[in-house]
Structure 1
Amino acid sequence: MRNNIIVVVNPISGDIDKSEFIDAVALFAEKENFNPVIYNTSGVNDIDKIKVLYQTYKPQRIIITGGDGTIKMVAEAMENQDVILGILPAGSANGLAVDLNLPATLEENLEIAFHNEYMMIDMISINGKKSVHLSDIGLNAELIKNYEKSTIRGKLGYALQAVSTLIDLDEPFFATITGDFPTIECVARMIVIANSKKYGTGVSINPNGLMDDGKFELVILKNLDLVVLGKIITGNITTDDAEDIEIISVKNALITTSVPVSFQVDGEYCGSETKLNVEILPKHMKVAVPYTDPDYGFI
Structure 2
Amino acid sequence: MSKMRKKLLFIINPISGGKNKRNFEQQAKHYLNHELFDAQYRFTERPNHGAELAEEAVNGNYDVVVAVGGDGTVNEIAKALVNTSVVLGIVPEGSGNGLATFLEIPSGVKEAIAILNRFQIKAIDSGVLNGHSFFNMAGIGFDAVISNRFDKESIRGPYGYMKTVFSEITSYKSQVYDFIIDGKKFKREAFMISLANSSQYGNNAHVSPKASVSDGLLDVCIVKPFPLYLFPKMLFHLFNKTADKSEYIDIIRGKEIFIKRAVEGDVHVDGQPILLGKDLEITVHPKSLQVIY
TM-score by length of 2: 0.90
Contact 2:174 2:189 in 1 (8 A): yes
The corresponding residue for 2:272 is: 268
CA drift of 1:182 comes to 2.3
CA RMSD of aligned residues (A): 1.9
Contact 2:102 2:198 in 1 (8 A): yes
Out of 123, 126, 129, which is 1:123 matched to?
Answer: 126
* Structure-1 residue corresponding to 2:250: 246
2: distance between equivalents of 1:224 and 1:230?
Answer: 14
Which residue does 1:59 correspond to in 2?
62
Query: What is the DSSP-based 3-state SS (H/G/I as helix, E as strand, rest coil) of the residue aligned with 1:167?
Result: coil
Q: Per the alignment, in what secondary structure is the counterpart of residue 259 of structure 1?
A: coil
Residue ranges of structure 2 left out of the alignment (5+ in a row): none
- CA separation in 1, counterparts of 2:87 and 2:140? 30
Q: Is the CA contact 2:93–2:107 (under 8 Å) kept in the aligned structure 1?
A: no
How many residues end up aligned between the 2 structures? Answer: 285
Q: Could you tell me how far 1:45 is from its partner in structure 2?
A: 6.0
Equivalent position to 1:15, from 3, 18, 23 = 18
Identity %: 27
Q: Which amino acid aligns with 2:209?
A: P
- AA in 2 matched with 1:203: A
Question: Does 2:255 match 1:255?
Answer: no
Match of 1:288 in 2: 292
**Partner secondary structure for residue 57 of structure 2:** helix
Offset from partner CA, 1:52-95 (integer Å, 9 cap, x none): 23333x23222221111111221222233212211110111111
1:162 maps to what in 2?
A: 165
Q: Distance in 1 between matches of 2:69 and 2:36?
A: 24
Paired AA for residue 187 in structure 2: E
Amino acid at match of 2:78: A
Equivalent of 1:221 in 214, 220, 223: 223
TM (norm. structure 1) is 0.89
Instruction: Kindly provide the amino acid, as one letter, of the partner of residue 262 in structure 1.
Output: D
Q: 1:180 to 1:50 in 2, by over 3 A?
A: closer
Aligned with 2:126: secondary structure? strand
Give distance in 1, aligned partners of 2:191 and 2:54.
Answer: 38
Return 5+ residue gaps in structure 1 as ranges.
290-299
Alignment correspondent of 1:69: 72
What is the deviation of 1:50?
2.7
- Rounded to whole Å, the distance in 2 between the matches of 1:230 and 1:75 is 31
Tell me the SS of whatever aligns to 2:147: helix
Q: For the Cα contact (< 8 Å) 1:263–1:273, is it kept in 2?
A: no
The 2-side partners of 1:48 and 1:145 are apart by: 23
Give the secondary-structure state (helix, strand or coil) at the position aligned to 2:289: strand
Q: Secondary structure at the match of 1:160?
A: helix
Contact 1:146 1:165 in 2 (8 A): no
